[in-house]
Structure 1
């Protein structure tokens, strides 16, 4: 199976994440993150049963995996419940751009060129358009929670970008180790849920959606993405990732029943254009 096919599979699964997170927004975020990540780790369990080395990674690599999987999804689910989901999802998808901007900071031998700066300005202009487009509705409703809800959305973008770059700074690890990252992160999240959040009863619909979330965007997508990066050109695969915010936002509009506004179109265009420009500037 070619690298492009693995990348497109991961992208297709990731487009459903924001919609599933919105549908499950009534659940405590630690519970949602924990259950989904544990379920997502299940496909790698048979590999460990046959060979324990499938999950053998240095502590530094494990810590990076927990930072990426646990930190990113927890922040994203927080953003989706405290900010308008479509705009929060667009801000979250600044991560392809942040990967380019942060590369000179985190990776040796990589420099920041003028085109990177232009791309950065375009990307943050897109984020501003998303926030300003949502602020009118929040103000009219007398609800200011939507403003601070964009902060965890931006933080989630930073976490995923820095995690992705960080994997290039650690020793190579097998794709099966993604299951370990998910399992440890999920157990950690469930522990936080037990201590910090009220217990809730899951409906049959919740169980089905959690299973879909875990097996899809929080499970198979990670394994497919890792295989794509290991088999193909990371620059070409990275460009494909810019399909994700468009597909994710379109699906969110369909699920939430919101009309397509000019601010959403502008934000999507600016963010995707900035990310493509940033990649071409390498």
Structure 2
């Protein structure tokens, strides 16, 4: 096998891992609804703790606990990305209207594509940019709904939403610069981020009594969107094509909405179908650009 073929195989498997992470993140919204009325910081702490514990068990089973011993740069990157993003995101939801804050937060897929060119030195090209633009339009159509308003008094929340998008995009793209840091280290990042979220919960949120169904949801979150997804995304960013993954990330809000509809949380609408078509078309366009130019 040639070096080019081997690289293409690595890129393909890494991109598939990133796609698996996106698929798992689509289940975060339905699981969050099932966990209500659990306070958001508490849910974040429990979800990340579950993901970290499951990850730690898998790392220990493979005899790879030494992977948790990383330098300050790796820990700064991991905690700022996983912990910092969630802190900013929940602050945005607390200080600004949820729909508008979520719309601004979903600048991160576009920023991943742009940062892949500016920081990663990867070629973008017109097809990729058009593809990510279609995905952004689809997500905006879905999230904005019948119209979005941006009241001036919610500026702090909007700033946090944009900051969260920048933090996650930088975390994702810079992961490639830390390719020597094994993905197993994410278990430690999740556990420490969970501890920080727990302390924030104790300081800012009222106590909450959890039922058996809440613990079931927490376990499912830890196995999927707040656990395995982080490991898969880390592998995808380090071994896959971040330009394509950034474009495909716009499928997450669409898939989440369709899952909520399937769970009886809403009705299918023409707006959802148009949004899905735009996101799908943008993803296919970006994928075709990858096949033609690498």
TM-score where L is the length of structure 2 = 0.72
* Inter-CA distance 250–231: structure 2 relative to 1 (3 Å threshold): same
- Measure how far apart 1:184 and its partner are: 0.9
Q: Is the 8 A contact 2:22 2:252 kept in 1?
A: yes
Find the partner of 2:173 among 147, 165, 177: 165
How many equivalent pairs are there? 273
1:52-88 per-residue CA deviation (whole Å, 9 max, x = no partner) reads 422021211111111221233445556678525xx87
1:195-253 per-residue CA deviation (whole Å, 9 max, x = no partner) reads 22222111222221112112211112222344455666666666665654443221022
Find the partner of 1:53 among 66, 77, 91: 66
* Inter-CA distance 72–151: structure 2 relative to 1 (3 Å threshold): same
1:194 maps onto 2:202 in alignment: yes
Give matches, 1:241-252, under 5 Å: 241=249, 243-252=251-260
Q: RMSD of the alignment, in Å?
A: 4.0
Match of 1:130 in 2: 142
Q: How far apart, CA to CA, are the structure 2 residues paired with 1:60 and 1:261? A: 46
Match of 2:41 in 1: 30
Find the partner of 2:269 among 261, 266, 269: 261
- Measure how far apart 1:181 and its partner are: 0.9
Find the partner of 1:208 among 216, 220, 231: 216
Q: How far apart, CA to CA, are the structure 1 residues paired with 2:142 and 2:16? A: 31
Uncovered stretches (5+) of structure 1, i.e. residues with no partner: none
Give matches, 1:169-184, under 5 Å: 169-184=177-192
1:69 maps onto 2:82 in alignment: yes
Uncovered stretches (5+) of structure 2, i.e. residues with no partner: 1-11
Q: Is the 8 A contact 1:32 1:210 kept in 2?
A: yes
Higher mean alpha-carbon deviation, 272-281 vs 203-212, is at 272-281
Higher mean alpha-carbon deviation, 2-11 vs 199-208, is at 2-11
TM-score where L is the length of structure 1 = 0.75
Match of 2:6 in 1: none
SS in 2 for 1:222: helix
